[in-house]
Amino acid sequence: MKLFKLTLLFLVTLSLTSCFEDRDDNAIPASTINDFVWKGMNIVYLYKSEIPDLANDRFASNEDYSNYLASFSTPESLFESLIYERETIDRFSTIIPNYIEFEQLLAGTSKSNGLEFNFYFKPGSSTEIFGIIRLVLNNSPADNLGLQRGQIFDAINGTPLTENNLSSLLNQDTYTLNFATYDDNGTETVDDDSIVSTTNSQELTKQVYTENPVHQTSIIDVDGENVGYLVYNGFNRNFNNELNAAFSEFQANNVQHLVLDLRYNPGGSVLTASYLGSMVTGQFTGDIYSKLFFNENLQSENENYNFVNSFDGNAINSLNLSKVYVLTTSRSASASELVINSLSAYIDVVQIGDATTGKTQASITIYDSPNLNAENINPNHTYAMQPLVANSVNVNDTEVPSTGLTPDISIIESPRNFGTLGDVNEPLLAAAIADIQGLGRFGSPQSDFRPLKTNINIKPHEEEMYIENDLFLSRLDFN
What confidence tier does 191 reach under pLDDT thresholds 50, 70, 90? confident
Q: What is the tens place of the pLDDT at every residue in 97-114?
A: 999 888 877 676 788 999
* Whole-number pLDDT of residue 102: 82
The CATH number of 112-210 is which of 3.60.21.10, 2.30.42.10, 2.60.40.10, 3.30.70.260? 2.30.42.10
Q: What is the tens place of the pLDDT at every residue in 365-385?
A: 999 999 898 889 999 999 999
Q: What is the tens place of the pLDDT at every residue in 204-225?
A: 999 999 999 999 999 999 999 9
Backbone angles phi, psi at 212, to 5 degrees: -85, 115
Count CA atoms closer than 13 A to 273's CA, side-chain side.
34
The CATH number of 214-444+458-475 is which of 3.40.605.10, 3.60.21.10, 3.90.226.10, 3.40.630.30? 3.90.226.10
pLDDT at 300 over 60: yes
* Whole-number pLDDT of residue 474: 59
* Whole-number pLDDT of residue 476: 65
Instruction: Please give the Cα distance from 272 to 265 (Å, whole number).
Output: 13
What are the domain boundaries of the chain? Answer: 11-97, 112-210, 214-444+458-475
* Whole-number pLDDT of residue 444: 65
Mean pLDDT for the stretch of residues 141-145: 98
Instruction: Please give the Cα distance from 96 to 102 (Å, whole number).
Output: 7
Q: What is the tens place of the pLDDT at every residue in 221-259?
A: 999 999 999 999 999 999 999 999 999 999 999 999 999
Instruction: Please give the Cα distance from 148 to 107 (Å, whole number).
Output: 25
Secondary structure string (H, E, C) spanning the chain:
CCCCCCCCCCHHHCCCCCEEECCCCCEEEHHHHHHHHHHHHHHHCCCHHHCHHHCCCCCCCHHHHHHHHHCCCCHHHHHHHCCCCCCCCCCCCEEECCHHHHHHHHCCEEEECCEEEEEEECCCCCCEEEEEEEEECCCCHHHHCCCCCCCEEEEECCEECECCCHHHHHCCCEEEEEEEEEECCCCCCCCCCEEEEEEEEEEEECEEEECCCEEEEEEEEECCEEEEEEEECCECHHHHHHHHHHHHHHHHCCCCEEEEECCCCCCEEHHHHHHHHHHHCCCCCCCEEEEEECCHHHHHHCEEEECCCEECCEECCCCCCCEEEEEECCCCCCHHHHHHHHHCCCCEEEEEECCCCCCCEEECCEECCCCCCCCCCCCCCCCEEECEEEEEEECCCCCCCCCCCCCCEECCCCCCCCCCCCCCCCHHHHHHHHHHCCCCCCCCCCCCCCCCCCCCCCCCCCCCEECCHHHHHHHCCCC
Instruction: Please give the Cα distance from 387 to 94 (Å, whole number).
Output: 6
**What percent of the chain has pLDDT above 90?**
76
Total count of residues recorded for the chain: 479
Instruction: Please give the Cα distance from 206 to 215 (Å, whole number).
Output: 19
Cβ-Cβ contacts under 8 Å for 11 (sequence gap 6 or more): 29, 31, 32, 35, 66, 69
Cβ atoms of 270 and 465 within 8 Å: the answer is: yes
**pTM of the entire structure?**
0.88
CA angle in degrees (0–180, nearest 5) for 398-402-407: 75
What confidence tier does 145 reach under pLDDT thresholds 50, 70, 90? very high
